[in-house]
Amino acid sequence: MAATRHLTPTRRIRALIALPLAILIVGAMASPAQAAKMRSTVIDRHLCKTVHGGRFVPIPNFPGEKIDRRLLPDIHWMEHRYDIFITDGYSTDPVHAGNGEHPIGLATDIVPNHAKGGTWNEIAALHRKAEPRQDHPIPPWRWVGWNGDPGHGRGNHLHLSWSHTPAKPGHTARVVYTRKCPTLPDQPPPPPPSPAKPPSTGGTSPSGIRHWAGGGHSTGGVSPPRLPRRLAARLAPVVSENR
């Protein structure tokens, strides 16, 4: 501000106006992905695709932890359904895989919330929901760390990663898949998928695209969420966590 003391009053006013304006422009240019409007689409039962809108925000009820805000509805669901406690979310700590989901805010480390009566049996139930069979998670989950994975499991923690398009550490992904669709306060919820039942195609989808859903176990008559291979091919590579 000392440099403006030698300017004429008119030029001094122009300089004072230009400075904050320049700061706003630089800020907008620095985060174009976050500035883009969030768009969510229901693509299957309990499977939502959200484009843009990523931002690292605090996780309610878990002091000190942050996450990509597009995961908040899923976390809220897990918290009330399975009495979870999140010990880590968004993190660039080298303890986590540098090219994994913690550094982009799309992973959680979970233990029971003993203060609310949470148990390891509830965490095991959440694991079965996300990964009915070892190494075969169902969408939206990308990688699940539990019994059989080094540094994970009952008595340690459950790791959940969400599916996404490639992103650099410290930056949000352009596309994220979640169980529940996120919405901003000024946005209406996305419409549900069409209830129309397609004609029988002999076990393949109408488009001829095979789907991966993992598991192969009984789901009580309800098919698990499915992600077409053409979409799965655009996702970031699966990265496991060793601890």
Query: Model confidence over 31-74: pLDDT tens digits?
Result: 444 557 999 999 998 999 999 999 999 999 999 999 999 999 99
Helix, strand, coil percentages for the chain (3-state, nearest 5) = 25, 20, 50
The model's pTM: 0.70
Rounded mean pLDDT, 141-150: 94
Identify whether 20 is part of a domain. Answer: no
Identify whether 9 is part of a domain. Answer: no
* Domain that includes residue 178, residue range: 33-192+221-232
Rounded mean pLDDT, 175-204: 64
Residues in a beta bridge with 51: 39, 175
Identify whether 12 is part of a domain. Answer: no
Beta strand pairing status for 175-178 and 158-162? unpaired
Look at residue 176 in the predicted model and tell me its pLDDT. Answer: 97
Look at residue 97 in the predicted model and tell me its pLDDT. Answer: 83
Neighbours of 57 (CB within 10 A): 16
Look at residue 183 in the predicted model and tell me its pLDDT. Answer: 82
Residue 6 pLDDT > 50, yes or no?
Answer: yes
Identify whether 202 is part of a domain. Answer: no
Identify whether 240 is part of a domain. Answer: no
* Cα–Cα separations (whole angstroms), residue 164 to 70, 79, 152, 172, 181: 11, 22, 22, 10, 14
Q: Give Cα 77 distance to the centre of its chain.
A: 13
User: Contact 227/211 with Cβ under 8 angstroms?
Assistant: yes
Rounded mean pLDDT, 206-223: 34
Buried-exposed string 152-189: b where 16+ CB fall within 10 A, e elsewhere: bbeebbbbbbbbbeebeeeebbbbbbbbbbbbeeeeee
pLDDT band at 146; cut points 50, 70, 90: very high
Identify whether 99 is part of a domain. Answer: yes
Identify whether 147 is part of a domain. Answer: yes
pLDDT band at 213; cut points 50, 70, 90: very low
Residue 181 pLDDT > 80, yes or no?
Answer: yes
Q: Pull the structure tokens for residue 16.
A: 């004072």
Domains identified in the chain, total number: 1
